[in-house]
Structure 1
Amino acid sequence: MTRLQRLFFALTLSIAPSVSAADAPQAEQSCPALFDHAFKKLHSNDTLNLCDLYTGKPMILINTASHCGYTRQFKGLEALYQKYKKEGVELVGFASDDFKQAAKSEMEAASICYKNYGVTFSMIAPTHVRGDDANEVFTRLNRQAGKPSWNFNKYLVSADGSQIQRFGSNTEPTDSALEKALIKAL
């Protein structure tokens, strides 16, 4: 349910109290505050509010870089996404140069993600994931689960947004503690 749809539904309920929550199929899936932030998509003029991706299932958020020894993990992250997207799991990559290993341009970063590794999950344009300039989502992730120690830290956020588990760069996307935790969270 998009932000506009949620607002419209809330207004409808306040104007017409006879409409019950059962009349709206997604009303029970209110989006956790952690996800209610909009970001520019990688190499695009479009923005994405993470609530637009929210399905009432766990979400995995990753800080990424284009020129890092862990960049190869895009392939495993895409495999993880393909394996669990039918169950409503979303992955979101946050491109970042906080560790000085990003591409020189968004076009280059997009090419690495989309062409070299076949990424189909959502990618966010370069943003900060550490320090005082960290974006709103990573500010909360950092506070609750710890700052990314390097690129390709993976944060598994529970369906209700209340529990966050951080998996470091060395944790492979598939056949790993991350995948086991995801299965358990489903």
Structure 2
Amino acid sequence: MRPATLPVVAALLLGAGSATAAESFRFPSIDGGEIDLAAFRGRPVLVVNTASQCGFTPQYDGLQALQDSYGPRGLVVLAVPSDDFNQELADETAVKDFCEVNFGLTLPMTEITHVKGAEAHPFYRWMDAEHDFSPSWK
């Protein structure tokens, strides 16, 4: 993957010791249920906001390759589809089908989630407040 095609991401190392603020976040899973970041304690987590109709959509190949290569050593790649940049499909079923058919994704994925602004998921609001990180279109 060339650096120009990398998505805007948030990377975390969830502590092996005491609980961190990042571990308190949960996302609704595209497969139903929820993804609890606390379940990844002690592991590096790459949180990536994605969009199925973006020019960077081929990033899914690289993200899956990262998960396949480094997942056995602890890495978790979490895809967070968002329509905040007007480039996501209409619903979760369409996103899930698109990603499975076109990219063979098996990595964990959230439901379509706001990543910026007042409606941003609490994780992204925390990233902005604590780490001055907010996804943007660059």
> Who is 1:45 aligned against?
32
Judged with a 3 Å threshold, the aligned counterparts in structure 2 of structure 1 residues 106 and 135 are, in CA distance, closer, same or farther, namely: same
Decide whether the 8 Å contact of 2:79 with 2:109 is kept in 1.
Answer: yes
Match of 2:123 in 1: 137
Write out aligned runs for 1:1-186 (5 A).
28-42=16-30, 44-52=31-39, 54-143=40-129, 144-150=131-137
> What secondary structure is seen at the aligned counterpart in 2 of 1:61?
strand
CA distance in structure 1 between the aligned counterparts of 2:104 and 2:38, rounded to whole angstroms: 24
Deviations 1:52-107, CA, capped at 9 Å, x for gaps: 2x141221000011111001100000001111111111111111100001101211
Comparing 123-132 and 133-142, the one that deviates more: 133-142
Letter in 1 for 2:32: N
Secondary structure of the corresponding residue to residue 109 of structure 1: helix
Residues 38 and 47 in structure 1, CA contact (< 8 A), matched pair in contact too: yes
Q: Is the 8 A contact 1:64 1:94 kept in 2?
A: yes
Percent of aligned positions that are identical: 32
* Greater Cα radius of gyration, structure 1 or 2: 1
d(CA) in 1 for partners of 2:103, 2:62? 9
Which consecutive segments of 4 or more residues in structure 1 shift more than 2 A? 28-32
What SS does the aligned partner of 1:122 have? coil
- 8 Å Cα contact 1:94/1:126 also seen in 2: yes
Whole-Å separation in 1 of the counterparts to 2:41 and 2:99: 24
Provide TM-score, normalisation by structure 1.
0.61
Q: Following the alignment from structure 1 to structure 2, what is the Cα–Cα distance between the partners of residues 31 and 93?
A: 23
Q: Secondary structure at the match of 1:114?
A: helix
Deviation (angstroms), 1:45: 2.7
Please report the TM-score for the alignment, with normalisation by the length of structure 2.
Answer: 0.80
Q: How far off is 1:113 after superposition?
A: 1.6
Tell me the SS of whatever aligns to 2:38: helix
| 2:11 equivalent in structure 1 | none
Describe the SS at the equivalent of 2:65: helix
Deviation for aligned residue 1:31: 4.1
Runs of 5+ unmatched residues, structure 1: 1-27, 151-168, 170-186
Give ranges in structure 2 of 5+ residues lacking alignment. 1-15
Give aligned pairs, total. Answer: 122
1:14-54 Cα offsets, whole Å, 9 max, x none, are xxxxxxxxxxxxxx544422132222111x331121112x1
